[in-house]
């Protein structure tokens, strides 16, 4: 074997080694973050952490109950607004692939997906907070706008995957359009759509920027959606940049809860999509 | 209208056919009438359903136009008062009513491009590793899922981790290099961003690389090319535009990232002179100041920052999506 060939083979092997090294080192920060947050957070979580609300600085025994309740309410309201609209729009885009409206609508959804969360926060601040003041509703609307593109895209992609003859068989039996969609197409694609919904909830659950000047935050446990409300990510931000160590400890516990919630949602989404692909 | 048609249907056979066979005709015609009424209802529901779909899709277009319109209208006082000098002004001093956005533009560009530069070798390595070297198996699958999970971790958690872990590390690095050990600053933000944007270019690059036709690769192998030569002269040229689109999506993500950057950049409004200086990005200024901007021009100046951010990310994303669309 000539030296030239040896050199080329060596270069190839060297590059392969470098690729493997760089690729596997991508996991290091993720593992480091997960381990650090689990280690810092696990000791802070106890019963009073989950059931108590914010206490003044220096008093021990504060908790994050208000943020947990607030996050749940705000996410739920956002999902109620965004999921039906997103699915309907996804159906339109999946059914009318070449119409002019579909082109512009698809472009809008693509743009919306790229809009930074802080810009959506500004817009909702102008629309809802300037006239009506800080409220949980405005936070939900901001999060709903962020959910929309993910729900739309996943619905559209799922409908594209379904074979046309399911739909044609239903039409041949004389079913009207809305029944074909609601009774045949949606049940067939439900797992794909559901995974999109879960993914979008996972995305907005950790979103802080648009909530800074919409839901704003609050020290008390409240369920009044017309008033400011605390959320988990906003609480983490507030406590993390505070100078008090016991607040930072609370923030580690809250981070762990948020992280577990988000990762579980992602895990289930992956499970569903894997099953879905096998079935098809 | 509905009932009149039905009456018509019911009465007509009686009139035209006489009374001899009335009883049987009546039974069938009532059934037919029921069926027709049902199908009329269904046609109506169908039309309502179709219209709802169209209206909802129209809503998306209206939403984007509404966002754009709102931002322009609300930023107008600042556009009028400050003009183009806004983008080149070096001082940002709300107390004196001086608004120059250059420090923030610079901060955004520096953090984003530095972050992207750090992340690119890693994300391309992941794309090549998963797309070419090891497309199947449990270990590559694990890596793929892990990389996608990087995108799932909330940005506020990255920021908090950066505060607690990265900043002390950067401080000790700065002490070794002889610059003031602040820790906070553009370099720390770029580090956090570089972790956060890996998945975007990696997963797109991976799917592009798996789409390279194997006949091209086999042709190169049959000519005696090594693995690396196939990657360099077949796969990378073939997927060039796709990889570029992935980089664009990562960049769009980095430009708009708010929370993680706000927490580690230091939030100072002077011009950054080196990458270890503290600074501010457009997104972090908005996050810090919009809630308390009481003056009209101050508020509008912050919204104008949002408008700039909106335009830049929209352009980047649309180009990226167009390139991907052309590819597949």
- The predicted complex's ipTM stands at 0.91
Q: For a pLDDT cut of 90, what percent of chain A falls above it? A: 58
Do residues A186 and A63 share a domain?
yes
CB-CB under 8 Å, A117 with B258: yes
Termini Cα distance of chain A: 50
Pair A82, A207: CB distance under 8 Å: no
For residue A58, with 0-12 CB atoms within 10 Å meaning exposed, 13-18 middle and 19 or more buried, which class applies? Answer: exposed
Q: Do B67 and A123 touch (CB under 8 A)?
A: yes
Q: Which residues of A touch B147 (CB under 8 A)?
A: 26-27
Residues A136, A38, single domain; the answer is no
Is the same domain home to B127 and B147? yes
Query: Does A164 share its domain with A88?
Result: yes
Q: In this structure, are A147 and A260 located in the same domain?
A: yes
pLDDT greater than 50 at residue B10: no
More confident residue, B64 or B23: B64
Taking alpha carbons only, the member of A208, A119, A89, A113 closest to residue B200 is A113
Note whether A160 and A31 are same-domain residues.
no
| B35 and B175 share one domain | no
Instruction: Pick from A71, A112, A209 the residue to mutate for testing the B interface (most B CBs within 10 Å).
Output: A209
Tell me which DSSP letter residue B268 carries: -
- Whose CA is closest to B227, among A155, A98, A9, A64? A9
B142, B286: one domain: yes
Least confident residue range of A90-94, A237-241, B9-13: B9-13
Q: Say yes or no: B26 and B156 in one domain.
A: no
Cβ atoms B30, B60 nearer than 8 A = no
Contact between chains at A263 and B152 (C-beta distance less than 8 A): yes
Range of lowest pLDDT (A39-53, A109-123, B242-256): A39-53
**pTM of the predicted model as reported, rounded to 2 decimal places:** 0.89
Residue B24 confidence (pLDDT): 53
pLDDT at B237: 93
- The distance of A211 to chain B (nearest Cα, Å) reads 10
pLDDT single digits (tens) A211-234: 998 988 888 888 888 899 999 999
For an interface test with B, give the residue of A17, A23, A174, A255 to mutate (most B CBs within 10 A).
Answer: A23
Q: Kindly tell me if the per-residue pLDDT of B98 is higher than 70.
A: yes
Res B21 pLDDT > 80: no
> In terms of domains, do B44 and B143 share one?
no
Structural domain ending residue among the three candidates B37, B52, B82 = B82
Interchain CB distance below 8 Å, A207 and B159: no
Say whether both A116 and A89 belong to one domain.
yes
Query: Do A14 and A76 have their domain in common?
Result: no
Residue ending a domain, choose from B82, B98, B131: B82
Question: Quick one: B11 and B113 in the same domain?
Answer: no
**CATH number of the domain to which B239 belongs:** 1.10.3720.10
**Shared domain check, A216 and A127:** yes
Three-state DSSP class for residue B1 = coil
Q: B128, A26: Cβ pair inside 8 Å? A: no
The answer to whether the CB atoms of B313 and A107 lie below 8 A apart is no
**Window 37-66 of B, Cβ < 8 Å to A:** 42-43, 45-46, 49-50, 52-54, 56-61, 63-64, 66
pLDDT value, residue A174: 85
Q: Give the whole-angstrom CA distance, residue A46 versus residue A64.
A: 11
Q: For residue B127, what are its two tokens?
A: 């794309």
Mean pLDDT of all residues belonging to chain B: 87
Structural domain for B53, as ranges: 2-82
pLDDT category of residue B197 using cuts at 50, 70 and 90: very high
Residues A151 and A269 placed together within one structural domain of the fold: yes
Question: How many domains is chain B partitioned into structurally?
Answer: 2
Domain coverage including residue A28? 3-42
pLDDT of B319 > 60? The answer is yes
Asked whether B131 and B205 are in contact (CB, 8 A), the reply is yes
Using a CB-CB cut-off of 8 Å, the residues of chain A touching B155 are 206, 208-209
Residues A31 and A116 in one domain: no
Residues B197 and B49 in one domain: no
pLDDT digits (tens, 9 = 90+) for A126-141: 999 989 989 999 999 9
Q: Which residues contact A107 (CB under 8 A, 6 or more apart)?
A: B318
> Could you read off the pLDDT of B224-244 as tens digits, one per residue?
999 999 999 999 999 999 899
Searching chain B, which residue's CA lies closest to the CA of residue A109?
B60
Q: Establish, for the pair of chains A and B, how many residue pairs have beta carbons separated by less than 8 Å.
A: 244
Residue A36 CB partners (closer than 8 Å, separation 6+): B161, B164, B165
pLDDT at residue A1 above 50?
Answer: yes
Yes or no, beta carbons of A122 and B71 under 8 Å apart: yes
**B190-195 average pLDDT score:** 95
Domain match, A20 and A68 both: no
Assign residue A58 the CATH number of its domain: 1.10.3720.10
Per-residue pLDDT of B208-223, as tens digits, reads 999 899 999 999 999 9
> Based on the structure, what is the number of domains in chain A?
2
Assess whether A92 and A143 both reside in one domain: yes
């Amino acid at each position: 074997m000539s030296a030239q060939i040896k050199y080329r083979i060596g270069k190839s092997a060297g590059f392969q080694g470098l690729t493997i090294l760089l690729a596997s080192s991508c996991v290091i920060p993720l593992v480091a973050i997960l381990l650090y947050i689990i280690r810092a957070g696990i000791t802070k979580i106890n019963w009073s952490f989950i059931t108590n609300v914010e206490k003044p600085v220096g008093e021990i025994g504060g908790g994050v109950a208000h943020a947990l309740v607030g996050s749940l309410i705000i996410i739920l309201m956002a999902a109620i607004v965004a999921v039906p609209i997103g699915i309907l729009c996804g159906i339109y885009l999946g059914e009318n692939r070449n119409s002019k409206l579909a082109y512009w609508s698809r472009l809008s959804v693509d743009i919306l997906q790229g809009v930074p969360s802080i810009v959506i926060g500004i817009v909702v601040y102008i629309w809802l907070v300037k006239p009506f003041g800080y409220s949980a509703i405005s936070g939900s609307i901001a999060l709903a706008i962020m959910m929309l593109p993910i729900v739309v895209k996943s619905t559209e992609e799922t409908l594209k995957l379904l074979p046309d003859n399911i739909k044609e068989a239903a039409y041949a039996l004389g079913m009207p359009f809305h029944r074909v969609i609601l009774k045949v197409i949606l049940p067939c694609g439900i797992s794909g759509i559901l995974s999109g919904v879960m993914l979008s909830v996972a995305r907005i659950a950790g979103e802080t920027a648009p909530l800074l000047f919409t839901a704003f935050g609050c020290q008390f446990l409240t369920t009044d959606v017309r008033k400011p409300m605390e959320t988990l990510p906003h609480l983490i931000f507030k406590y993390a940049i505070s100078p008090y160590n016991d607040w930072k400890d609370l923030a580690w516990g809250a981070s762990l809860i948020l992280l577990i919630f988000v990762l579980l949602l992602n895990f289930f989404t992956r499970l569903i999509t894997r099953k879905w692909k096998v079935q098809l | 209208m509905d009932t009149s048609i039905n009456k018509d249907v019911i009465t007509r056979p009686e009139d035209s056919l006489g009374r001899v066979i009335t009883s049987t005709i009546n039974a069938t015609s009532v059934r037919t009438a029921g069926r027709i009424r049902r199908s009329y209802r269904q046609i109506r529901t169908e039309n309502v359903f179709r219209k709802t779909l169209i209206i909802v899709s129209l809503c998306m277009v209206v939403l984007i136009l509404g966002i754009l319109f709102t931002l322009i209208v609300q930023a107008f006082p600042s556009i009028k008062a400050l003009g183009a000098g806004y983008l080149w002004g070096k001082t940002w001093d709300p107390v004196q009513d001086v608004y120059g956005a250059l420090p923030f533009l610079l901060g955004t560009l520096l953090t984003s491009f530095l972050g992207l530069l750090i992340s690119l070798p890693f994300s391309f390595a992941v794309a090549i590793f998963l797309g070419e070297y090891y497309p199947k198996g449990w270990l590559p699958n694990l890596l793929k899922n892990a990389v996608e999970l990087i995108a799932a971790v909330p940005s506020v958690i990255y920021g908090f981790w950066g505060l607690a872990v990265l900043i002390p590390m950067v401080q000790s690095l700065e002490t070794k290099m002889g610059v003031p050990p602040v820790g906070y600053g553009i370099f720390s933000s770029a580090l956090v961003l570089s972790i956060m944007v890996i998945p975007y270019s990696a997963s797109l690059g991976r799917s592009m690389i798996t789409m390279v036709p194997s006949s091209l690769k086999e042709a190169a192998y049959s000519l005696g090319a090594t693995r690396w030569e196939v990657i360099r002269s077949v796969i990378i040229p073939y997927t060039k535009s796709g990889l570029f689109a992935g980089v664009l999506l990562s960049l769009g993500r980095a430009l708009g990232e708010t929370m993680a950057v706000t927490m580690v950049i230091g939030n100072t409004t002077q011009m950054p002179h080196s990458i270890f200086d503290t600074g501010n990005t457009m997104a972090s200024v908005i996050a810090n100041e919009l809630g308390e901007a009481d003056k009209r021009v101050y508020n509008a100046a912050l919204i104008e920052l949002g408008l700039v951010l909106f335009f830049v990310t929209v352009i980047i994303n649309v180009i990226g999506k167009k390139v991907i669309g052309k590819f597949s």
